[in-house]
Amino acid sequence: MNNDNDNKDIIDEIDKALEDREKKRTYKLGYFLHNNFSIHILLTVIVNLFSFGIVMGFSKEFFEIADISSIQGFFLVVVMYSLFETTIKMLTISLFYKVVIHTLGIIFLVINMVLFWIISLIVHDFTFFNNPLNIFTFTILFMIVRTLFTVYVRKTKWIQGGA
Q: What is the 3 state secondary structure string of 45-90? A: HHHHHHHHHHHHHHHHHCCCCCEECCHHHHHHHHHHHHHHHHHHHH
Question: Does the structure show a pLDDT above 70 at 6?
Answer: no
Question: Does the structure show a pLDDT above 50 at 125?
Answer: yes
Report the C-alpha gap between 42 and 23 in whole angstroms: 18
Q: Determine the pLDDT at residue 137.
A: 95
| 67 φ, ψ (degrees, to nearest 5) | -140, 140
Question: Does the structure show a pLDDT above 70 at 56?
Answer: yes
Strands 126-127 and 67-68 come out as antiparallel
Q: What's the one-letter identity of residue 54?
A: I
**pTM > 0.85:** no
Domain residue extents for the chain: 31-160
